[in-house]
Chains A and B, each alone.
Chain A
């Protein structure tokens, strides 16, 4: 037993050494990005590398990023689009999920099978017809083009239905006896009681659409309605983007909001994602 304490200590140390190593792999691009965003060009191209700049050029770099490209506009667009998508998804998915979970009507099982089939279709496979539809209605290069294709979410319906089913029927019976209509039941019982599922779905939805590049690249050309993921590319392709410092500053501005959101609510984020995907 005498040797167990130093062995344990060595084990603990090994754990931290290994995790610091893998965490470094995960964090290196972020550290590198911030480091470059604070440096003047000559230091970026210098043969010798320093993490912290000798001449601090952070203010210039971030200034260029913010003035040469409408960075705040990109962030605002991301906010507008993600909010709109998630709100509309809820308006469509919650009632449907409620009916699929708690109401009995002819054709319900068929509809649920359709939702399951819908889960199979990757969104990228619908890009051509969605593009054609938006083209026909003259909606390309508008907010609508970024929002409309995502209003329906088979995943959202599926996830919420599973959760609604776990809410006891007796609660709904009691509510009906109290004279509550079905929409009041949804609004006053189902929604408050399924906050964890709604939050998890919200995380999925916002992360997916904030970070998506594929669809904005197809649907949008103008800088004014670009999402963050597309905006940083437009900035790179601009002349201003030739300078690495401002480009990295732009990347920091684009990446930070979601990461901050995550760091503030990480337990909920991680548990929500894990539960949703494995349940």
Chain B
């Protein structure tokens, strides 16, 4: 999702040509055509968003008929809760593992695929398959691959003489294993974005660099490709980070946040507090906190995109 710089000032069409009558009919049609969307925006999006903020200030529990406004008590409780900090720390660590992994792998694969036309489409499609796959099902598959005895990973390690571990049940590796799954799912998407970024680099730049004597692969990469990709890289970093913040499926399916909260993340915490324990007010406070992070990230993304538009 992106918010591009928009030239709002350009009139939709020259105003001189129309009469007052067509204008007022245009206004009528305009309001008529947007009214369903407007009603639903308010009813399903802005209303609920406001409701979450409101819930976060109450002691309401789902199903109970009464509630009281209790100010910021839910937020104080949230910030006093060590599992919340654990979930926040884990989410940040997860993002810190997934973003560089995804972006680096996506970039390398895109560069290498685009280096020559042979089998280009085939490789793109193969690397993209994980993006399309249903994560809950593939998480189950990953669970069997990481199984301590029958899993592919430990069998492969055993073949080279290394004793594997119980990756998803060990506190030191559970989150890392989930991060690898996250990279697996996302790097094909980064690749596709990099490929379209690479396509937009004008060939003249490479020709000019060649005239200046920079015609080796590394020269071309450092002098033309990477600088020209700079804004795209930033964009993909932010996009990957936003997606990594939303990690839920693999956690829910494989670890439920365990062992001992070693893989607990924000969205999974939000889910369990709100819908397993039905602590609505507390869950709402957690949601407001989560919302603030995601909004901040998306705004950064929009700002960067605007800059990219000026850059290009």
Contacts and interface: CB of A to CB of B under 8 A. Distances in A.
Interface of A: 11-12, 15-16, 18-19, 22-23, 25-30, 32-33, 36, 44-45, 49, 91-93, 95-96, 98-109, 111, 114-122, 124-133, 135, 148-149, 151-152, 154-155, 157-158, 162, 169, 173, 182, 207, 210-211, 213-214, 217-218, 228-230, 232-233, 236, 244, 247-248, 250-251, 254-255, 258-259, 262-263, 266-267, 269-271, 273-275, 277-279
B34 A111 contact: yes
Nearest to B188: A26
Given A106-B27, A119-B3, A122-B246, A129 B113 contact: no
Contact of A15 (B46, B105, B116, B287): B116
Interface in B160-201: 184, 187-189, 192-193, 195-197
Contact of A104 (B30, B41, B193, B197): B30
B271 A214 contact: yes
Given A92-B36, A274-B192, 4 more contacts: A26-B187, A95-B37, A236-B140, A248-B144
Contacts of A26: 126-127, 129-130, 184, 187-188
Nearest to A182: B29
A100 B134 contact: no
Interface in B121-161: 121, 123-130, 132-138, 140-142, 144-145, 149-150, 152, 155
Contacts of B239: 277
B219 to A, nearest CB: 15
A120 B298 CA distance: 6
Most B CB contacts (10 A, CB to CB) among A107, A111, A232, A270 go to A270
Interface residues of B, number: 97
Interface in B1-54: 1-4, 8, 12-13, 23, 26-27, 29-31, 33-34, 36-38, 40-41, 44-49, 51-52
Interface of B: 1-4, 8, 12-13, 23, 26-27, 29-31, 33-34, 36-38, 40-41, 44-49, 51-52, 55, 62, 105, 108-109, 112-113, 115-116, 118-119, 121, 123-130, 132-138, 140-142, 144-145, 149-150, 152, 155, 184, 187-189, 192-193, 195-197, 217, 232, 235, 239, 246, 248-249, 252-253, 267, 270-271, 274-275, 280, 283-284, 287, 290-291, 294-295, 298-299
